[in-house]
A and B are shown apart, each in its own frame.
Chain A
Amino acid sequence: MAREPKPPPPGRPPNWALGMDLGIRLGVSVAIGLGGGLLLDNWLGTIPLFTLIGMVLGIGAAMVTIWNVARNAMRR
């Protein structure tokens, strides 16, 4: 009897890989925002204005990242 053909492997990384990516990107997003703000502040001498703005934007980017990853994962 012929064996049933295997279904094609899904074209997406396993959940643990997505989780690993998400975990690092959350931290990196905040670090980029904070680092960029610090650099701007040091350059313009406006401490702590851009550091705070950068931190808020970084946290916002982390939230957007969670949203995008979750939305793409649920689409599939």
Chain B
Amino acid sequence: MAEEEGESLIHVAIEAEELFGIGPLSFTNSMVGALLTSVLLGLAAWYITRRSSLVPGRLQSAFELPVELMTGIISGSSSRWRGYASLILGFFLMILVANWIGLLPGVGTIGIAHIEDGHEVIVPIVRPASADLNFTLGLAIVAFVMFVYWGIKANGAGGYLKELVGEPRYMAPLMFPINLISEFSRLISLSMRLFGNVFAGEVLLATMIALAPILIPAVFLGLEVLFGFVQALVFALLAMTYIATAIAEHQTAGHDDDQGEADAAHADHPTAAEAAPV
């Protein structure tokens, strides 16, 4: 009996579970999580933009804190940071809220009961969106497309292809597939890392709640708050780095390595006129 209860508590499906279908389309519980995240962020944005003041109150400060933190980091990434700052901020806030929604009471535990293989299984109504590979892969595809877009924008389609083909040209048959695999590894890496970490957190919490329902899960809930933040930060910062690297590579495309080293040395040891205080 106890084992049966344990089994039903530890049940965490790796794929998002269907709540209802509309024709060939299925509406899953992770879609509910994603919608909830979007609605929460939309409401927060609406509230803050209507009630914002020059001297922020506590609530406004709480909302502005992550935005200022990320803007500060992004502004140091490249000279064109304004072009992609909103995208990176969007990634960060979306993933952060999606991760933390999974820690709210009722998420993952309140659901619709149905019989599967003779056992009663509860399908949660809400599942954190980032615990679904479709969501994380979608975000990674957006990041990948933007990274390629900035690469092409900075140097044109021909220049981007030249980067993929590499130097010297006679090595192109070998280097092109290698560079292509390296580019695609970013897409898979971004999506799998986020999904793996969040899903592992969900499984860990479910297991801990099943094994020791009192006090112990609180420790892991605290850790998940931290991991949720870290994963959102890592995704956003890596997406930012990919874009900034694409722009930086193309900005220095006309320079050879010696010139690049000379530039770096110049940055480390500026001339007296540049170093003099204004």
Also in contact, A29 and B72, with CB within 8 A (given A24-B193, A72-B245, A75-B260): no
B234 sits at the interface (CB 8 A): yes
- Residues of chain B within 8 A (CB-CB) of A28 are 185, 188-189, 192
Which single residue of chain A is at the shortest CB-CB distance from B187? Answer: A28
| Contact partners of B75 in chain A: CB under 8 A | 8, 11
- Among the 9-residue stretches B98-106, B141-149, B236-244, the one with 4 or more Cβ atoms under 8 Å from chain A is B236-244
* Contact A21:B260 (CB < 8 A) given known A12-B77, A61-B182, A64-B178: no
Known: A12-B77, A61-B178. A32 touches B184 (CB 8 A): yes
The answer, yes or no, to whether A5 is at the interface (CB within 8 Å) is no
Known: A8-B75, A11-B244, A20-B193. A65 touches B234 (CB 8 A): no
Q: Which A residues lie within 8 Å of B245 (CB)? A: 72
Chain B min CB distance to A16 (Å): 9
Within 8 A of B (CB), among A55-76: 57-58, 60-61, 64-65, 68, 72, 75
Task: Please determine whether A11 and B189 come into contact, CB atoms closer than 8 angstroms.
Answer: no
Q: Which of B174, B186, B241, B260 has a CB less than 8 Å from the CB of A13?
A: B241
Does B77 contact A58, Cβ atoms closer than 8 Å? Answer: no
Q: How far is the CA of A60 from the CA of B186 in the complex (A)?
A: 15
10 A-B pairs with least C-beta separation: A11-B76, A11-B77, A13-B237, A61-B181, A28-B185, A24-B189, A61-B182, A25-B185, A60-B178, A29-B185
Question: What residues make up the interface of B, taking CB atoms closer than 8 Å to A?
Answer: 72-78, 81, 174-175, 177-179, 181-182, 184-186, 188-189, 192-193, 233-234, 237-238, 240-241, 244-245, 248, 260, 264
Using a CB–CB cutoff of 8 Å, the interface residues on chain A facing chain B are: 8-14, 17-18, 20-21, 24-25, 28-29, 31-33, 36, 57-58, 60-61, 64-65, 68, 72, 75
